[in-house]
Amino acid sequence: MSEFEAGKCYRHTTGKEINVLVEVETTQWGKVLVAESNFNSEIIAVGKYIGSAVNYSEISREEWEKNFK
């Protein structure tokens, strides 16, 4: 796994899935990615770099959307 990318979906080895929406510039953390999660309907900030994506693998949009059917 490399780093997260906006517009892509990912699954963690624990089963948590995220849909990375957009990259934003913050005052405190610099560039971060904003994602939605299938866990508690959260909106979260995720790190942009490789270390943040450990134990995640990319999944298809169709797999992500199964969370909402």
Beta strands at 30-37 and 43-46: parallel, antiparallel or unpaired: antiparallel
Structure tokens at 37: 């999660």
Domain ranges of the chain: 9-61
Report pLDDT digits (tens) over 2-15: 799 999 999 999 99
pTM above 0.95, yes or no: no
pLDDT of res. 68: 87
Count Cβ atoms within 10 A of the Cβ of residue 2 and give its class: 0-12 exposed, 13-18 middle, 19 or more buried. exposed
Locate tokens 């299938």: which residue? Answer: 38
